[in-house]
Amino acid sequence: MLTLKQIRTQKDHVVDRLSVKGFQAAPVIARIEQSDDRRKSIQTELDDLLRRQNSLAKSIGALIARGEDAQSVKNEVGALKSRSRELEEELKSVTAELDGLVVQLPNLPAEVVPAGTGAEDNVVVRSGGEIPVLEQKLPHWELAARYGIIDFELGVKLTGAGFPVYRGKGAALQRALIAYFLERNTAAGYTEIQPPVLVNEASGFGTGQLPDKEGQMYHVTGDNLYLVPTAEVPLTNIYRDVILSEADFPVAITAYTPCFRREAGSYGKDVRGLNRLHQFDKVEIVRLEKPENSYAALDGMVAHVESIVKELGLPYRILRLCGGDMSFTSALTYDFEVWSAAQERWLEVSSVSNFESFQSNRLKLRYKDPEGKMQLAHTLNGSSLALPRIVAALLENNQTAEGIVVPEVLREYTKFDRI
C-alpha cells in the first residue's frame, strides 16, 4: 500500500498517476486526510491526558507523605483514566477506518506505463520466433483427446470444470516442464523453495490479494486459510516483518506450486481446454531489491523468462501493460504471450512485475541503509512459467501427422521425443 506520508505530501502526483489506472483517487484521499487529522487530534489529546495523569499520580504519594488529603487528586486521576480509555477506543476506531481507506488506493504506475483502458492499449515491446505453418491445425483439446494425455471430462467427474486430469505422456510433460523451469531458474541464481499451498489472511493481505481479490481465492472457511493463487504469496511473505541488511540483497527465490483461482468464468473457445483453469501448475520467481536496483532487476527477469520461451521454440511477444490493464499492486508489468497455432491467437503465459514498495509497506519488509535508517525494500515477481497455455501452445504448434514433437530442451526430462 502507499504510505500515508506519500499520500499527504504528494497528493497531486498520486491523483495524477492513479488516473492512468482509471482510478479516481481524490475522493478517497479527502477522506484519508479527514481521518488522519482526526487521528492526530485524538492522539494529541490522549498524550496530554496521559502526561497529566502521570504527573498527578506522582503527586499523590507526596501528599500522603505530608499527611495531606489526596482524595481530590485521586478523583481527578480516575476521571482522567476514564477519559483516556474513551480516547483509546476512539483512536483504535479511527485508525482502523484510516487503514481501511489507505488500502483502497492502488499502487502508482511507473512513468513509462502507457495510458489506456484495456488489453487493446498494451504496447508490444519485443517479439520473437516464427509462427509455424502446419498441415493440420487441431486445437489442443482435440489433440489431448486423440493422444490420451489430458482428460477434461474425468476432471469434471472428480471435481468440476477447470480441473483437468493429466495422463501418461501428458503427466510426464507437466513434470518435465516443472523440472526444466526450476532448473533454469536455479541456474540463474534463484534459490528453490517448497512453500505451503495454504496461506493465512495476513499473507494474503501482505501481497495484495486481500482484500482486493478475495472473490477469486478458494477459502478454507473452517481454518480461515486460502489456497494460493500463485507462489508469489507464500514466497514474498517469507520476508513479512523482516529487517534485511544491505548484504542480504538481492534476494532471489523460486518455487513450483499448484495454483487455485475461482475466476474461470465465461463460456466459449477462449476458456476451453487449458485456456483458463481453476487449478493449474506454475513456477514463480520472486526478487527483493534495494529501490535503486529494482528496475534493472525487472529487466533481468524479463530477459530470463524470454530466454526460456526461446528455448521452447515458441513464437512470443512481450507487452508493457497500460494502466487500465495492470493489477492493483503493480507499478510496471510486462506480459508474455505465445502464439496458439490452432486457435490463431496469442495466449498469456507470464506476467513479470515490479511492485516497488507497495507490497513491502504491507509486509513491513525493511532494510537498514548505510546511515542506519529504515527503508522499504522493493518486491518483484514473475511467472517462469505458467504451464497450461505453454502446454496448449506446445501441443498445437508442434503437431504433425506422426505425433506431437517434444522440444529438444525437454527431452532429457520427458525421456521421449514425441507424443
- Residue ranges per domain, the chain? 4-102, 119-414
Same fold, 4-102 and 119-414: no
pLDDT digits (tens, 9 = 90+) for 106-130: 999 999 999 999 999 999 999 999 9
Q: The whole model's pTM is what?
A: 0.92
- Residue 169 to residue 274: CA distance in whole angstroms: 16
Give me the sign of the Cα torsion angle 237, 238, 244, 246: negative
Tell me the pLDDT band of 78, cut-offs 50, 70 and 90. Answer: confident
pLDDT in the model for residue 352: 98
Instruction: Supply angle C-alpha 328, 332, 336, rounded to 5.
Output: 100
| Radius of gyration, alpha carbons of the chain | 27
Mean pLDDT of 397-405: 96
Mean pLDDT of 73-87: 89
pLDDT in the model for residue 267: 54
Candidates 3.30.930.10, 3.20.20.70, 3.60.130.10, 3.40.50.450; CATH matching 119-414: 3.30.930.10
Give the contacts of 287 (CB within 8 A, at least 6 positions apart): 250, 251, 252, 253, 294, 297, 301, 379, 380, 381
pLDDT in the model for residue 291: 97
Residue labelled with grid coordinates 476521571: 79
For the chain, give the percent of residues with pLDDT over 90. Answer: 88
- Residue 93 phi/psi, 5-degree rounding, is -65, -45
Tell me the pLDDT band of 268, cut-offs 50, 70 and 90. Answer: low
- Residue 390 to residue 339: CA distance in whole angstroms: 9
pLDDT in the model for residue 269: 59
pLDDT in the model for residue 74: 83
3-state class (DSSP) for residue 117? coil
Q: Which residue has the higher pLDDT, 195 or 269?
A: 195
pLDDT in the model for residue 365: 98
Answer yes or no: is pLDDT of 85 > 60: yes
pLDDT digits (tens, 9 = 90+) for 299-314: 999 999 999 999 999 9
pLDDT digits (tens, 9 = 90+) for 142-195: 999 999 999 999 999 999 999 999 999 999 999 999 999 999 999 999 999 999
For the chain, give the percent of residues with pLDDT over 70. Answer: 97
Architecture of the domain delimited by 4-102: Orthogonal Bundle (1.10)
